[in-house]
Structure 1
Amino acid sequence: MQELRVTSLDEAFVNLANDAVMSVHFEVRVAGRLDADKLTRAIKEAMAAHPLSRARLRAPTLGTRTLTWQIDDEADFFALEVVDGPAGPARDRLQSLSPDLSASPPFRAMLVREDGGDRLILNCHHAAFDGMSAMRFTTSIAQAYAGDPIDLDGPTLEDARNLRKLVGSRSIEDLKPRVAKVGKDILNRRRIARLAPEGGMQTGRDHIVSHLKLTADEVATVSGKRPKGATLNDVAIAAHALTIIGWNAGRDVKPADTVSVLMPVNLRAKEWSNHVVSNFASYLTIFVPTDVTDLTTATEIVRDETQLVKENGAAGWIVDILEPGNKLPAALKRGLTSMLPLVERQFVETTALSNLGRLAIPDFGDAGAVTEAWFSPPPLSPTVPIALGVAGLGRELFLGFRGDRRALDATAVDRFAASYRTTLLEG
């Protein structure tokens, strides 16, 4: 048995799971058929290779001050759910569940049989997995299914999870840009936009997933719209903000000055950025003024913000403030902590967008190549009711829109995705 301290990044999602479903959705479709027994064995091999994928939270006692992951040699119980398509209702049902962290493993898996190729759909608790972990875990499943050795790289789990060593500030000078970013964000949040609800229900915490695929030609069109120095991710964030501005136009919503987009940042070191199954997701917020109407201007604003935070390492702010053992003066730490929505267990942003980049998932042996790869982060609350996940495969882009049914019904999420496509291609 192995024990690991729950990090500040993990604990944020342990706490948030009390109010929302903190599931990371990752899904692949293969060209052929997946054998259920063989897939179950492959998943168990991947679990053996990645310790945190079979972790559970140790039951706290009355005097417990820190949470601990307990990792046994084998998971308590694992069963692959097999469903005959269609995938849509099964996917929504799976992503509406929050894996129980008191038992291992901290994920659920579903095999959906469909004409045109079977799907493997994962629901991973965000306290143990981030989006990159879900992708890395799926890669290991594919390797095991094909009969190949699981390719492990990167440091040990204990070393990798030393967040203060990984990204913590070394001095007050390192800390300055991080403090400046947090302080500036407070000013930008004075009047942030809230997505107007449509058709939502008042009870339950169910999620709805809508998929949008961009062809290679469409991706080339979007790429050609980039202002100088902008990335495809900058365009994706800008289009997301503009879609929300357009969605709210003419609706009964409070006046707003900005759309705030929560952007997860992978804190892994560059040398092992696609490895180690654990939660390494910190967060930065990108703001787009609500009076912006065209995609080029919005992308330029996003480009300037993202370039700055990449250069100054601002994504490490949560580690500086929340991880034990940091060297911040106590008064400064108390002041900064009071500014953090994560600590207050509430997200004050408009939406979230997470981009896994271009993926390279190996073939599933005799089941064939991966033809689709879908990902979506969780919507954070009924007031932050939609989140967008982006993944590239080959020359195509796969976009997963996930809505909170307390604010949006299935028709609304589909309509939002269609509006996003129009904004991206015609904005």
Structure 2
Amino acid sequence: MIAPWTAGGRGTATPPGGVRIPFPAVDEVSRHCLSDDEPESVHIEVHLPGRLDPVRLRAAFRRALLAHPRVLMREVPGRLHRRSFAWELTGRPDSDPVKLAGRGPDALARARARALSECPPLTLSPPMRLEVVEAGKGRAVPEPSATGVASGTGTVLLLTMHHTALDAPSGLRVLATTAEQYGGVAGLPVTGRVRPGRSGPAPSGTGRTVRARPARVAPDSRPGQVRARAVGNGMLQADLPVPRRAARNGGLQPWTVNDQLLVATSLMVGRWNVSQGRPAGPVRITMPVDDRPRGPEMPMGNGTRLVEVAMTSEDPRDTDLLLGERPDPAAVDRLLRTTARRTRALKSAHGAPLGAGASLLTAPLLPVGIRGVLTRGARRAAASWTSTALVTNLGRVPYALDFGDAGRATAVWFSAPARMPRGLSVAAASTGGRLHVTLRWSRALLGDAAGADLADLFQESLSRTSPTPVGANAPEAGRGAGIREAEATAADAEASTDRDHAGTPGGPYHHDTPHPDPTPRGARSTQDSQKRPS
């Protein structure tokens, strides 16, 4: 075994330090718009049923970093009159990025809080840290995993990255290589994503013709001055069954799980805004599209392109049907089919990651200081036209994440930044037939209680996107009713446990910090159901 933090193994192919790479447009825009109030962090959680050896893990993580030398980078310092930012490839870590977060019932909550508030610095290589949270003696890691963990066992690996440098697929690829190094078993070949081919003119039906300003997520009922002083992000996570899809009609299914997530987010936002006394408006969702290969050769960095999906029905009369007390199943079906057509067109199209405007703003024609002023000004000017929410779906995790005697991953969660003016992100990944969803929001928009209410609406809205089984009644309104019905009929869902029910301790949604509302969770949900759509 290679000793921790010494060169060797696959690292012999690592290029020498000092190689410099100019910032791509995505990295530069993120760098210009950094804010201490809302750190630009991405976090990934991998839940394992067993314990890890810290020495072996450190050695495996180092070898994984050396196998992906593009991750071993730091920002080159410089003055504002320079023409571009640059990454310097260091060839080896500047420090040990593996931290033992300790044990205890609140160790994972504290690690999550750090992931949302403390970005790894860009001045140290690599711009990420890996925290290890173990179950305490006689206590399991308190997670709503469908498979559960035995008493006194269980480990959570929590990887936090600076989003200016890396995205979630890059971090997940590093963790997959770490598992291969730790377990001593080479990973199976990973198939790439299949995108519909494009030939002839650019695809139509993307919804780009909608010119109305997107609806904003309505702020909660806290006083404006309280929201203005709030900093950071809040987060809730869910362990849910993968929603069922409509039966195939010939070739492809009419819509994907990703389309269901988009529609559920749209329904959640629309119904939330109506409950807050806001008029219904057109919802537009930013969706990352990743065309990179997912094997060991995967390019590291920020490799996704962002597209906007208009979540508007083709029939204006559907708006009232979708936002009523019980969304009309036929209207939901029509929105799913429209959304599927738009996302297929957007995925098959090609373009700059952030569009032509960002490419122009980051062209090295002016010093970076002036470009930064222009970029921040453009961001403020375009705030009212920013999309309503961000939905990132990694799909089925393609890696075994097998850590040998520590076991395979039983759950994988991740979250994306939720900075204002958008203020809301939804992230999803599927592992072992379960859907792991994270809602993350800006505290300048929502408090923890409002975030929990929004999560309830998402859970129910997602259940509305699953077709009703033949001979079964439509899901009754109520917190978690649709999810429980879908769970009982989903073919690929594992056996449920008591923790799979919303509104109960350890249920699908859990907080990164204790809930501030002294009212019991179930009682508050009952009270709120009287004043907002269910």
TM range (shorter): 0.7 to 0.9
Asked if 1:425 corresponds to 2:463, the answer is yes
Find the aligned partners of 1:120 and 1:234 in 2 and give their Cα distance.
29
Is the Cα–Cα contact under 8 Å of residues 425 and 441 in structure 2 kept in the other structure? Answer: yes
Number of the residue aligned with 2:229: 203
In the other structure, the counterpart of 1:416 is: 454
Aligned to 2:354: 318
1 CA distance for matches of 2:452 and 2:255? 28
**Aligned-partner residue type, residue 108 of structure 1:** R
1:149 CA drift (Å): 5.8
> Judging changes above 3 Å, is the alpha-carbon distance between structure 1 residues 390 and 274 closer, same or farther for their aligned structure 2 residues?
farther
Distance 1:291 1:129 in 2: 41
| 1:107-128, Cα deviation, whole Å (9 max, x unpaired) | 1221111313110011111122
Cα distance in 1, alignment partners of residues 168 and 86 from structure 2: 22
Pairing 1:5-404 to 2, within 5 Å after superposition? 5-18=22-35, 20-81=38-99, 82-84=101-103, 85-86=105-106, 87-114=108-135, 115=140, 116=149, 117-148=154-185, 184=209, 187-188=211-212, 190-197=213-220, 199=222, 201-203=227-229, 205-215=231-241, 219=242, 221-224=243-246, 229-253=254-278, 255-268=279-292, 275-289=298-312, 291=320, 293=322, 294=327, 295-313=332-350, 315-316=351-352, 318=354, 322-323=358-359, 346=383, 348-359=386-397, 360-381=399-420, 383-404=421-442
Q: Which residue of 2 aligns with 1:159?
A: none
Worse-matched range after superposition: 118-127 or 206-215: 206-215
Question: Is the Cα–Cα contact under 8 Å of residues 42 and 141 in structure 1 kept in the other structure?
Answer: yes
- Which structure has greater helix proportion? 1
Q: Report the residue type matching 1:110 in the other structure.
A: E
Structure 1 residues without counterparts, runs of 5 or longer: 155-172, 328-336
Alignment deviations for residues 388-412 of structure 1 (CA, whole Å, 9 cap, x no partner): 1110112111111112222222232
CA distance in structure 2 between the aligned counterparts of 1:285 and 1:206, rounded to whole angstroms: 25
Return the alpha-carbon distance in structure 2 between the equivalents of residues 267 and 273 of structure 1.
15
The SS at the match of 1:202 is helix
Corresponding residue SS for 2:269? helix
Larger radius of gyration: 2
> Match of 1:209, as an amino acid?
M
Q: CA RMSD in A?
A: 3.4
Give the aligned residue type for 1:403.
W
User: 1:261 is aligned with what amino acid?
Assistant: I
- Gapped regions of structure 2 (runs ≥ 5): 1-16, 141-148, 192-199, 313-318, 364-373, 466-534
Bigger relative contact order (CA 8 A; separation at least 6):
1
Please tell me whether the aligned partners of residues 245 and 257 of structure 2 are also in contact (alpha carbons under 8 angstroms): yes
Evaluate the alpha carbon distance shift between residue 341 and residue 140 of structure 1 in structure 2; reply closer, same or farther with a 3 A threshold: farther
* TM superposition score normalised by structure 2: 0.65
Q: Decide whether aligned partners of structure 1 residues 150 and 299 sit closer, same or farther in structure 2, where only a CA change above 3 A counts.
A: closer
Q: Which amino acid is the alignment partner of residue 218 of structure 2?
A: L
Distance 2:39 2:441 in 1: 11
Distance between the aligned counterparts of 1:201 and 1:259, measured in 2?
23
- Distance in 2 of aligned mates of 1:367 and 1:412: 37
**Higher strand residue share:** 1
